[in-house]
Amino acid sequence: MSAMGIFNLVRFQLAICLGKCAAVFSQMFGRGGGTAVSGLVATFIEPNVHRQISNILSREVIFVTGTNGKTGTSSLISQILRSKGNFVLSNSSGSNMARGVVSAYISSLGIGGILKRRRKKMASVFEVDEAVLPSLSSQMDPKIEVFLNLSRDQLDRYGEIDNIAASWAQSLSSHSGLTPDVLVVNADDPKLYSLVDFGRKNSIQTITFGLGDPSVASDDVFDLYERDFCSCGSDIRYEVKYVGQSGSWSCSECDIERPDPDVLAAKVTLESNRSILKIKLAGQAEALDLTVHQQGLYSVYNVLAAISAAWGYGIHPADSIQAIESASGVFGRQEEFLVVNAKAKVWLAKNPQGLNEVLRTLTETTELPLNLLLVLNDGIQDGKDVSWIYDANFEILEGKYKFLACSGSRSHNLSLRCLIAGLDVVKSDSDIMGMLDFSLDRTPHMETLNIVTTYTGMIEIRENLANRTGVLPYWK
């Protein structure tokens, strides 16, 4: 080995070692599991740490990106892969920025620096922030990239979505290293069409997924102020819309249209606490029946994406069913707690499309009327600009709730939004724990309090509910 090679190796080991120490100290002093700090430290010492980790992982890396569903989908893929005997590395409890990947790797190391359970075949599933994807994929050359959807996020400025879509397509074509072996793409989202097109033109295995049951189409007439355009410049038109801007679409001028999904949910039955699916696979006559223990169409999309990714990894969809059906949920996403004599269910919603889907799921597949606590924070992870609540369909709640309370650092904006929607807010206060107690007290015996919250509110509420009910904190 050259002197430079030895220097790089020593620097990498030092970066990992000091990152590990930072994580241990952070955990000792109770800073939420130290999930980000170790990655920060290691990246500071060795800027090329991602490429070296990817080499160690032999490129057995799956990236999952999109505006909504990253955590749920990554968790499902991990559970399928684990059920097939793989040891799976993931950033499930950490950050989806570049440092989160490093932190996940470091946390999988024992104090001695040896990967735990190294005897097993190892795979990595990382959820990656939309904006971080291009740079991170050029450093790590993932084997599989999963693209879920792209919608206006809370921090979006005009045109940002189109920029992100373009940067994804560009990252594939100008890949400094290797292109992925497999692309998994949501066929229903027209913004992702360029990725399917790229995959097909470059002979990359491209697995598309989508919905094919108009009976669960959104009848929501609420205008999201979003329009989609084809690469030819013309409007995209929809035969059916399922979630936000995802549906059965085609260009109003040229012959570009939704690709036929390779993994298609041909029949979807949404029930309270579960969804029942009939899945058709391209080129196969037999359909697969599957029960998902989560509510709402977003969960259905997550399942289709996970099945597709596992298929790209070599696991046939029929062999994924058992893992999906027995999959545990993801912390803070439709997670339920039994608190003395009421149930509390936590729903994460951090952008208009996510919130619309949660509200739709609550009003269409949950026992009504609802006991409801809405929480809006404006921390860095939530987004400082909360004006996105005006793009969400609060009006859908009219006549569907027993009581509605608001909390969070921007509870005043939230209650004003509810008033404009014609809803009665029983109480609004920024003190989240006080409002949690208030709402639980008001929830009738053995009924469910549904808590819909932005990210930092979810972390705070989940920790409180976990403490009351003896559920472990998320990082344990």
Closer by beta carbon to Zn ion, 256 or else 396:
256
Torsion angle in degrees (nearest 10) through CA of 288, 291, 297, 299? -110
* Coil/strand/helix, residue 187: coil
Closer by beta carbon to Zn ion, 254 or else 368:
254
Selected range binding Zn ion among 17-25, 234-242, 301-309, 411-419, rule: CB under 5 A: 234-242
Q: Closest approach of Cβ 159 to Zn ion, in Å?
A: 19
Closer by beta carbon to Zn ion, 166 or else 254:
254
Q: Closest approach of Cβ 161 to Zn ion, in Å?
A: 18
Closer by beta carbon to Zn ion, 161 or else 436:
161
Selected range binding Zn ion among 70-78, 166-174, 251-259, 348-356, rule: CB under 5 A: 251-259
CB atoms within 10 A of CB 173: 11
Q: Which of residues 62-91 bind Zn ion (CB under 5 A)?
A: none
Q: How far apart are CA 421 and CA 423, in angstroms?
A: 6
Selected range binding Zn ion among 63-71, 139-147, 244-252, 444-452, rule: CB under 5 A: 244-252
Closer by beta carbon to Zn ion, 162 or else 424:
162
Closer by beta carbon to Zn ion, 140 or else 161:
161
Closer by beta carbon to Zn ion, 230 or else 375:
230
Q: Which of 232, 282, 338, 420 binds Zn ion (CB under 5 A)?
A: 232
Contact 231, 256 (CB under 8 A): yes
Host H or E run for residue 167? helix 160-173
Contact 124, 107 (CB under 8 A): no
Q: Between the CA of residue 434 and those of 132, 202, 217, 464, what are the distances in Å? A: 37, 56, 38, 11
Q: How far apart are CA 385 and CA 155, in angstroms?
A: 7
Residue 14 binds to Zn ion (criterion: CB under 5 A): no
Q: Closest approach of Cβ 302 to Zn ion, in Å?
A: 29
Q: Closest approach of Cβ 230 to Zn ion, in Å?
A: 3
Closer by beta carbon to Zn ion, 162 or else 253:
253
Q: Between the CA of residue 311 and those of 205, 207, 303, 328, 368, what are the distances in Å? A: 11, 8, 12, 20, 38
Selected range binding Zn ion among 170-178, 233-241, 270-278, 301-309, rule: CB under 5 A: 233-241
Size of the site for Zn ion (CB under 5 A): 7
Copy the structure tokens of residue 143. Answer: 């084997």
Q: Which of 125, 251, 358, 459 binds Zn ion (CB under 5 A)?
A: 251
Radius of gyration from C-alpha coordinates of the chain:
22
Q: Which of residues 85-144 bind Zn ion (CB under 5 A)?
A: none
Residues 6 or more apart in contact with residue 266 via CB below 8 angstroms: 212, 213, 278, 279, 280, 287
Residue 254 binds to Zn ion (criterion: CB under 5 A): yes
Closer by beta carbon to Zn ion, 233 or else 283:
233
Selected range binding Zn ion among 114-122, 254-262, 428-436, 450-458, rule: CB under 5 A: 254-262
Q: Closest approach of Cβ 333 to Zn ion, in Å?
A: 36
Q: Closest approach of Cβ 250 to Zn ion, in Å?
A: 9
Q: Which of residues 202-231 bind Zn ion (CB under 5 A)?
A: 230
Residue 236 binds to Zn ion (criterion: CB under 5 A): no
Distance of CA 159 to the CA centre of its chain: 22
Q: Closest approach of Cβ 166 to Zn ion, in Å?
A: 16
Q: How far apart are CA 366 and CA 351, in angstroms?
A: 21
Q: What is the DSSP string of 313-343?
A: TT--HHHHHHHHHT----TTSSEEEEETTEE
Contact 301, 246 (CB under 8 A): yes
Q: Closest approach of Cβ 299 to Zn ion, in Å?
A: 31
Classify 287 in phi/psi space as left (phi over 0), alpha (psi -120 to 50) or beta: beta
Closer by beta carbon to Zn ion, 251 or else 374:
251
Q: Closest approach of Cβ 456 to Zn ion, in Å?
A: 41
Copy the structure tokens of residue 442. Answer: 């008001």
* Coil/strand/helix, residue 276: strand
Binding site for Zn ion (CB under 5 A): 230, 232, 234, 251, 253-254, 256
